Amino acid sequence: MESETNPTQAGQPSPTIRGGEAPTSPKGSAPDEPVQTGLGRAGAYVKEKMAGYREGGIEQISEDITEYTRTEPITALMIATGVGLVVGMLLILARK
């Protein structure tokens, strides 16, 4: 196993390992724990939003889209462009 030296820390090996081996995580910590936590929070958020949409109906969805478009106009424009392109491509393929 070969290691590179970091020029800022002369004489000390860097954590970069050659040969395709990944550095090991500290004992007692799983690398996927933060991912599982994030997915759990995202799932709870989606459930909460869906409950609000069931109660508010199409008006609530419309308000949320309008609010998002006002706060993130470029992103909303890019999303709309992407959706338009996909729908257009599907319509062209359906004609053939």
User: CA–CA separation, 38 vs 33, rounded Å?
Assistant: 9
Q: What is the pLDDT of residue 92?
A: 94
Q: What is the pLDDT of residues 49-95, one digit of tens each?
A: 777 777 778 888 888 889 999 999 999 999 999 999 999 999 999 88
**Between helices 33-71 and 73-95, what is the axis angle to 10°?**
90
User: CA–CA separation, 40 vs 48, rounded Å?
Assistant: 12
Number of helices and strands in the chain (H, E): 2, 2
Q: What is the pLDDT of residues 2-30, one digit of tens each?
A: 444 445 555 555 555 555 555 555 555 56
Q: Is pTM beyond 0.85 here?
A: no
